[in-house]
Structure 1
C-alpha cells in the first residue's frame, strides 16, 4: 500500500473518531446544561462555561470547580481543568467590553491587568504543585474566558484570552501532551493542594466518564440540540486538527520532579547543570528558557557550539511555548558572533580552508625544523595546540603560555618546545593578518573584544549555553559577558565526558564562579539499559576533567530509568559486506514497524557520512542530511556526523564504518599522545552510541 493511501486512510479514521467523540460530547453537554439549569450557586456565565468543560470528560479531562486558593482561608479558584492538554487555570468573566490595548487588558476604559495577574498566579501555584510529579512549568496555562462572547484566542504574556465559543476547540487543538497516567498523577496533587472551597460547586462534575466505543462503520450522528452560541461542529473540527498534528514528545511536557524543580529554581549568579549522557540536560535547558521567558521581561539567548542543535531546539520550543518564540533566540555561537560583528560594522573574513593552508605553510617554514621535531607527535598535534590551547584562549603573551596548565593535553612540553610552539603561532598569526583572513577562533575573539568595547544596548535577560564542554575559553568568556553575574543570567549545560575536541579549560580559568550553583544529574532517562551499558563500556576506563581541576573516573554513578533495548554488533570482512548488512538492518527494522524518521546513521567524518548516504540512496532508502534537519518530523532516516548529532536523540542509531581493534596507530606518535587521541575518539563514539534510545547497531570492518 502506498504512503499516500496509508496517510489518507489514517486521516479518514481520525475524522471518524472525531465525529464519534464530538457526538458523545454533545450528548454529555446537553446533560451538563440541564444540571446547570437546576443549579443555583455561582454566576450564570461560570456555570455555562463549567458545563462546556465538564462535558470534556469524554476526552479524558477532569474539571475541578470552585477550589480553595492554597494558603488562604477565603480566596477561591474558579476552575482548574486537567487533561491530555495539560492544566488550565480558568477564570470566567462576564464583561461587556473586554479588549487588549498596548499589551494590557481593559474592561471598557478600566485597566483590568490585575485580573490577568491573578489567573497567572493561580497557574503558577498549579505548576508548583504539579511539578512534584514532573509537569513542566509552562504546561499549567492561565486562561481568561469571556462568557457569552466570541473572541479569537489572544496571548497576553503567559495568559490566553478567548471567548466562550472558542474555548473547547482551542483546548482540543492543544492535542495530547500528557498520557492518561500522567493526567491522573497531576489531578491527584491538584485535588490535594486545591481542596473544594465549599460543599457545593457551581457545576456538578462527573469525575469518571467512559470514552465512547468507536463503531466500525461511519455512524449517522445528529448533533444534540445545544444553545446557538456553541457549535458541536467546531468541536469535531478541532478534534480532527488536534489528532492530525504530529505528536509532541513526552519529554517536552513531563519532566522528572527533580528536573521540574531545576527549571524553576532561582540562582544568584552563573550556574551549571552537568551529568552523563541521557540525563536530560538539554531538556532542562529548553524548559528553563521557556520558564525564564514566561517570568521576566527581556530576551533570552540559547546557544550551542553544535550548528544542528539550535534549529531543532527552536522548532521544539515553538511547539512547547509558542507565545514566547519572539523573545527566545536559538543560535550557534559562531553564527551569533558573525551577526553581531556585521551589525557593529566590524570587518571579518573567515576562510577556514585558507587559514589551514597558511598554517601548514608556516609549519614547513618555522615549525618542522624546530624543537617541535623532537616531540613524538604527528604534525596535526600542533594545529590543534594552536587552535584549541592558544587561540581558544586568546593568548597574546608568551609568558601566559609558559605558565599555562594545558588542560586536556597529556604530552609534556618544556620551555624550549613551548617557545617553538609560540614562534609557529606568531608566524601563523602574521600570515593571516597579511592575507586578510580570519579563522573560527578569530571570529569569537573579535566579538569578545567588540562587546567589551561597547556592551549591548539591550542586554539579554538570560543566556543558556548547551554543550559548553566543546566551547573554547574565549567562547565561554563571550557568553559570560552577555549573561553577566546577576541572578539567573548565565546557565552552563554540558558534560566533560562528551567533549569531542582536544584540549580544554576550567571555568575558574575563564573567570566564572559557580560555587554552590552546580547541579549534577545522575539518572539516565533516555537510553535503554542495554544501549547504555554498551556505551559506558567504551569510556569507563578513561578519567576526564569536567571544566574544573579535578579528574573524574570514567565509570560514573548513574541510575537507569529504562530497561531493555537492543545492541547489535556486525563484524564484516570488507566494506561491501558491511554496506549490505547495513541496508538489510534498516529494512528489517522498518519491516518490524519502526519509522525511518525515528532513525539516524552517524559517522565520525563528513566523508564517511557522504559515503553511507550514497549506500542508502542506491538501496532506495529515503534519507535527510543531518545538517538539513530542523526538528520537523519526517519519514526519512537522518544521516550525518556524530558531532552534528550532539544534543539530539533517536529511537534507533546505526554506527557503521567502525574499525575492529580500535583506531589505527599514527606514525611517530608516543604512547602518551596516542592515549590522548584515542580518549577523544572513544568519547566521540560514546556520544554517538548514547544518541540511541532503544536500538543501537554497530558495524565494524575487520
Structure 2
C-alpha cells in the first residue's frame, strides 16, 4: 500500500499551485501514516463466523495475512483483525481495522453471547515474529472456560521503551468506553493499572476512524500532566496510523506568557478557585460606563443626535445579553449607527447598509464607543486585579474575604505585563480573561488525562476547548496530589461544563501485580475512602519486598536493589522524593550505574530511570525500587497529599516492587 502511494506522480497536478501543494502534502502524510513498524504486527486476531466454510489457511498457499471465506450470499465470514486496514493490489481487504464494526465481537463476544462468532483466534508475537496462536470456540458448549494465555503473556510483557497500544488486549468494559458515541462526554475513574490512559488514546483513534471528516475539521487534543508523560505516550497513536492528534499539557495549554514566578500552595489554590471567574467577569465589566453625553454624528449639512439615555439603553441591552466583551464592543457602533439611521428615515431619507457602516466608522461614534466600552487587554486586567488592592476589593466584594484578597496581592512590576513574574496559576486567570473578551475556539474532542489534579479554573480552561465538542476525562481520585485536587468527579465535570457526562469506573487492573496493588490499597481508607479497592487479573505474583535498613546504609541499599533489579528483564524505575534525587544520582554515579531522566526512552542498554516522585504519575516500569516512603510523604504540604503521592509511587510497578526504608513506614503499611 505504501509503494502504491509512493508511486503516485504529483509533478503535474492540473490545478493551482496551492492545490498542487495540498495534494503533495497529503501524499507525504499518507506515506508517513503507512510507515512499517516492525514491533507492531499488522494483525493480531481472527474471527470466524458460524457459517464460515473452512478453518485453516487457503489451500492455494496464497498469503495468510488475511483469509476470506464466503457463504452462499457472497459475504465474507472470516476476518483478520489488525491495527490498520490492509488491502491487496486489487483493493480487496486483507486485514480489518480493529475499529470497524465487524471487529467489535473480537472484544465483546463471549460463550454466553457469541455474537454469531464460531471461533476467535488470538495470535502471539515475539519481537514482531508470529510465534503462537490460540483458539476459542465460542459456540462449543463442551469446551471449558479458560483464561487466555496469550492475553496474559501480552499483559506481562516487559515494558522497555515507550507506552504501547493495547489493541490486542482491550477488555469488554474498556471497549464500551472506547466506542462510546462522539456526542457524549465520558469520565473514567480508573484505579492504577486499569488501562485508563490507553482507553483514552484508543478512544481518540476510534473516534477519528468513525467520524474522520467531522474531527478533521474540528480537531482533537490530548492533554497530559507533564512533558515526561507525553513522551511516554507519544508513539501510541502513530502506531495506530493517527498522526494529526495534538498533545500538550494543561500548563502549555494556557502558556500565553513565560512562567517566571511560583505561588505557594494557599495562593495557587485560591487562584484556581472557581470564584475567580466571577471576580474576573466583574473586573472586565467594570470598564463599561454609563453614557452621560449624547453622540452627535455630522453627515454633510445634517447633524444627527443620539441622546445619552438612548445610548445607556443600548449599552445595558448589550450587557444583559451576556455576550463576549469584545463581541459587544464590536456590536455597539452598529447599534448606535442603527439609531442614527432610524432618525434619517424619519426625516425622509432612504439610507442603506453602506450608510450604516459609514456611520459606525464616524469619529463621533468611535469616540463614544471608546469612552463607554473601551478595549481591555486581558493580561493587563489580571495584572491590575492582582496588584491594585482597591480595584481587587471592589471587584471581589462579597466573593473573597479580606484575608483572601491579601493572599492574592503582589507588587506591581515596574515595566508592566511583559516583565511580570507570572505563575502557572496566573496564566490560567489570563486565559479566563481572554475568553471573556473573545470566545476560545472549540475542538471536536479533548482527552484529559490525570484530571484529578486540575483546579476548577483549569477545568474551565479545558472546557472552553471543547465547549461545542465532547471530552474523555481520565483520572483517579486517589491519585490526586495537588493541594487543589478535585474531591469528586461531579464537581469536576460541572467546572468542565459537562455536568451530564457519564462516569464509568474501572477497578480491574491489568498491569500492577496482585500483591503490589493490595499493599498500596491499604492507603485507600486514608486517601479516598469512597473508592473500591482495585483487583488485578495478573496471575503472576510478581517480586515484592519491603526492606528496612539502618539510616547510614540507605543509599547503598537502594543502589544494591537497583543492581539486583537490573539482573531481571525489563525497565527499572528508581522513584524517590524530589529532595532525595540529587543524593541518589550521586550514589548511582559513584557505583558506575548509568541512569535516564523521566521521559527518555529506555532501551536494552539503558534500563534504569531515576524518577522524582512528583513526575511518576502515569509512568510505568517493570520493576520499581521505591526509596524512603516517609520522605515521599513528608515532601508534601499535608499527610493526605503525601500518602496519595506515595500511593502513586507504589503503583508504578508492572512486575516487581522493592521498598527500601530507614525511617518508619506510614502506619497502614507498617505491618
TM-score range, shorter chain: 0.5 to 0.7
Which secondary structure does the structure 1 equivalent of 2:573 belong to? strand
**2: distance between equivalents of 1:129 and 1:308?**
35
Equivalent residue pairs, number: 452
Closer, same or farther: CA 432–567 of 1 in aligned 2, 3 Å:
farther
Q: Deviations over 1:151-205 (max 9, x none)?
A: xxxxxxxxxxxxxxxxxxxx99996498735x534xx56x99xxxxxxxxxxxxx
Return the match for 1:611 from 568, 575, 583: 583
Post-superposition offset of 1:602? 0.9
Task: Indicate the residue corresponding to 2:549 in structure 1.
Answer: 572
Task: Indicate the residue corresponding to 2:643 in structure 1.
Answer: 682
1:439 and 2:423 are equivalent in the alignment: yes
Q: Is contact 2:80-2:95 (8 Å) kept? A: no
1:625 and 2:597 are equivalent in the alignment: yes
Closer, same or farther: CA 568–660 of 1 in aligned 2, 3 Å:
farther
Task: Indicate the residue corresponding to 1:594 in structure 2.
Answer: 569
Q: Is contact 2:577-2:612 (8 Å) kept? A: yes
**2: distance between equivalents of 1:175 and 1:637?**
21
Task: Indicate the residue corresponding to 1:693 in structure 2.
Answer: 654
Closer, same or farther: CA 431–265 of 1 in aligned 2, 3 Å:
farther
1:650 and 2:621 are equivalent in the alignment: yes
Task: Indicate the residue corresponding to 1:350 in structure 2.
Answer: 259
Task: Indicate the residue corresponding to 2:463 in structure 1.
Answer: 480
Return the match for 2:253 from 303, 324, 336: 336
Post-superposition offset of 1:619? 0.8
Return the match for 1:492 from 473, 481, 486: 473
Return the match for 1:65 from 45, 65, 68: 68
Post-superposition offset of 1:351? 0.1
Closer, same or farther: CA 521–543 of 1 in aligned 2, 3 Å:
same
RMSD: 4.1
**2: distance between equivalents of 1:684 and 1:272?**
22
**1: distance between equivalents of 2:617 and 2:229?**
7
Closer, same or farther: CA 560–270 of 1 in aligned 2, 3 Å:
same
**2: distance between equivalents of 1:632 and 1:422?**
51
TM-score by length of 1: 0.57
Task: Indicate the residue corresponding to 1:99 in structure 2.
Answer: none
Post-superposition offset of 1:630? 4.8
Closer, same or farther: CA 121–639 of 1 in aligned 2, 3 Å:
closer
Q: Is contact 1:306-1:644 (8 Å) kept? A: yes
Q: Is contact 2:163-2:233 (8 Å) kept? A: no
Closer, same or farther: CA 127–453 of 1 in aligned 2, 3 Å:
farther
**1: distance between equivalents of 2:453 and 2:438?**
27
Post-superposition offset of 1:90? 6.1
Question: What are the equivalent positions in structure 2 for 1:397-546 lying under 5 Å apart?
Answer: 418-427=401-410, 436-451=420-435, 453-455=437-439, 459-486=442-469, 489-505=470-486, 506-507=491-492, 509-510=494-495, 512-515=497-500, 517-537=502-522, 539-544=523-528
Post-superposition offset of 1:248? 8.2
Post-superposition offset of 1:610? 2.3
Closer, same or farther: CA 121–649 of 1 in aligned 2, 3 Å:
closer
Greater CA drift, 422-431 or 459-468:
422-431
Return the match for 1:278 from 178, 184, 193: 193
Question: What are the equivalent positions in structure 2 for 1:276-425 lying under 5 Å apart?
Answer: 276-297=191-212, 298=216, 299-319=219-239, 321=240, 323-325=241-243, 327-338=244-255, 341=256, 348-352=257-261, 355-356=262-263, 383-393=264-274, 395=276, 418-425=401-408
Q: Is contact 1:252-1:283 (8 Å) kept? A: no
**Structure 1 unaligned spans of 5+:** 1-17, 19-40, 42-46, 55-60, 96-114, 135-170, 193-244, 342-347, 357-382, 402-414, 545-551, 665-673
TM-score by length of 2: 0.59
Closer, same or farther: CA 616–432 of 1 in aligned 2, 3 Å:
farther
**2: distance between equivalents of 1:523 and 1:517?**
19
Q: Is contact 1:49-1:92 (8 Å) kept? A: no
